[in-house]
Amino acid sequence: MKVAVITGASSGLGVEFALAAEKKFPDIECFWLVARRADRLQETADKLGCKTLLISADLSTEEGTAVYRSALEREKPDVRLLVNNAGFGVLGDLAESDPGEQAGMIDVNVRALTVITVCTLPYMDRGAMIVNTSSIASFCPNARMTVYSSTKAYVTSFTRGLAEELRPRGISVTAVCPGPMATEFISVARITGNSKTFSTLPYCDPKKVAAGTMDAAAAGRVVYTPKAFYKFYRFVAKILPHSLVVKMAKT
Ligand SMILES: NC(=O)c1ccc[n+]([C@@H]2O[C@H](COP(=O)([O-])OP(=O)(O)OC[C@H]3O[C@@H](n4cnc5c(N)ncnc54)[C@H](OP(=O)(O)O)[C@@H]3O)[C@@H](O)[C@H]2O)c1
């Protein structure tokens, strides 16, 4: 069965990814939706016309990724699209932060994304696509979101390396690097009222980000940055020394 796997499909961008993928790739027969909140996964499933398999798992734990791995071994799907989208951020000074929460960010944004990709690759063939949700935070470190921006630097770097590795197998790998979006991310990260930068930056529309990402994946693009403003920021962060950009990029 031709399957699309979407992690973080219980809210925000993940929901939009499911809807955009269903529209863009009508040959997909079943959507595997992964996140912790089963009720919210069901709400996403109700929005889709396709068959769904809901996998309620905490991806910050090894048990969580093992639940997904067991589903692969049991169902032996033909994975046409894997969207590694689950993730979260935390705003604030590292010295005053909760070490467990910081480590949890690495577990979900980096470890789970890596483990899920490795487990899924044996079920992917020529023409399949991997999408990794990165961020503009991957272009230059963001003080006060130091761990988050480091995890996203990993995601973009991982994408570039893997895209090159998988080119001969005809599997594309795309990192999408959105700017801020008005999703639950903002409250989870405790951003509201705590960051001048976030209150002045232009926001991206998750619907447009998801549709643009599906086009970018189908075209085999390795890094996709929605919105002209952030394309320009990516260029600036590439040509100027990070010792300079890091001062402007503080959250
Ligand atoms: N919103 C922004 O400003 C922004 C900007 C750039 C990049 N991003 C990235 O976009 C992605 C999606 O975020 P969003 O904006 O759509 O925020 P969101 O609405 O908070 O969605 C985050 C998703 O990740 C899932 N998730 C978080 N922790 C998890 C865990 N331990 N196990 C399993 N699933 C987990 C959540 O599901 P459950 O809570 O149900 O587990 C949810 O479905 C993230 O990777 C984020 O870093 C967001």
Pick the residue whose CA is nearest to atom 41 on ligand 1: 36
Distance (Å) from CA 231 to ligand 1 centroid: 22
Residues with pLDDT less than 50, the chain: none
Catalytic residue (choose from 68, 148, 154, 224): 148
- Alpha carbon dihedral 64, 66, 69, 71, in 10-degree steps, equals -70
Residue of 153, 144, 131, 138 whose CA lies nearest to 221 = 131
Q: What is the pLDDT of residue 83?
A: 99
User: Which pLDDT tens digit goes with each residue over 200-246?
Assistant: 999 999 999 999 999 999 999 999 999 999 999 999 999 999 999 99
180 in contact with ligand 1, CB cutoff 6 A: yes
Mention every residue, 6+ apart, whose C-beta is less than 8 A from residue 49. Answer: 22
Distance (Å) from CA 9 to ligand 1 centroid: 8
Pick the residue whose CA is nearest to atom 43 on ligand 1: 8
Both tokens of 185, joined, read 């991310």
Answer whether 220's CB lies under 8 Å from 128's CB: no
Q: Confirm whether pTM is higher than 0.85.
A: yes
Q: What is the CA radius of gyration of the chain?
A: 17
Task: Give the separation between CA 129 and CA 146, rounded to whole angstroms.
Answer: 29
Q: Give the architecture-level CATH label for domain 2-248.
A: 3-Layer(aba) Sandwich (3.40)
Distance (Å) from CA 8 to ligand 1 centroid: 5
Per the annotation, the verdict on 148 as an active-site residue is yes
Mutation test residue for ligand 1: of 16, 36, 138, 188, the one with most atoms within 8 Å of CB: 36
Q: What is the pLDDT of residue 235?
A: 98
Residue of 12, 19, 4, 20 whose CA lies nearest to 214 = 20
Distance (Å) from CA 185 to ligand 1 centroid: 6
Both tokens of 194, joined, read 């705590």
225 in contact with ligand 1, CB cutoff 6 A: no
58 in contact with ligand 1, CB cutoff 6 A: yes
133 in contact with ligand 1, CB cutoff 6 A: yes
Chain Cα centroid distance, residue 32: 15
